[in-house]
Each structure stands twice: as structure tokens, then as C-alpha cells.
């Protein structure tokens, strides 16, 4: 049960980081193209966090239960 709690915590952290960084970027005056690139980088980083901290460990746990 503990790994699922850790996954939920990582999802909460990733969601909060995404929200907070988007709010911070919106406050910085910059050209729309640069702001869009920064938002894309933020999304890529958050997706990587979710992939490596939630999805891949979940697949490993499911694979271990099948064998």
C-alpha cells in the first residue's frame, strides 16, 4: 500500500509544481513565443517526473505480480 501513497504524493507534487510554475511564468513579462516555449518546457519536465516516479514504477509492480 505504501508505493501507492508515494505515487499519489508524487502526482500531487507534480500538479502543484505545474500550477505554480505556470503562475510564475505568467507574471514575468516576455514575448508570447518565449512564454509558450517556457510553458512547453515546464510540461515536459512535469511529464518526465510523472513518468519516472509514477508510471514506470507502477508498470514494474504490475509486471512483478504477473510473474
The domain limits of the chain are: 2-66
**Average pLDDT, stretch 55-61?**
90
CA angle, residues 30, 31, 33, in degrees to nearest 5: 125
Reported as a single tens digit per residue, the pLDDT across 1-41 is 688 898 899 999 999 999 999 999 999 999 999 999 999 99
Instruction: Say what the pLDDT of residue 2 is.
Output: 86
CB count in 10 Å sphere of residue 58: 13
pTM of the model: 0.81
Amino acid at each position: 500500500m505504501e508505493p501507492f501513497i508515494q505515487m499519489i504524493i508524487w502526482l500531487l507534487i507534480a500538479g502543484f509544481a505545474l500550477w505554480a510554475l505556470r503562475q510564475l511564468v505568467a507574471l514575468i513579462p516576455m514575448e508570447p513565443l518565449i512564454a509558450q516555449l517556457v510553458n512547453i518546457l515546464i510540461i515536459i519536465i512535469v511529464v518526465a517526473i510523472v513518468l519516472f516516479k509514477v508510471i514506470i514504477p507502477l508498470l514494474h509492480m504490475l509486471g512483478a505480480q504477473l510473474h
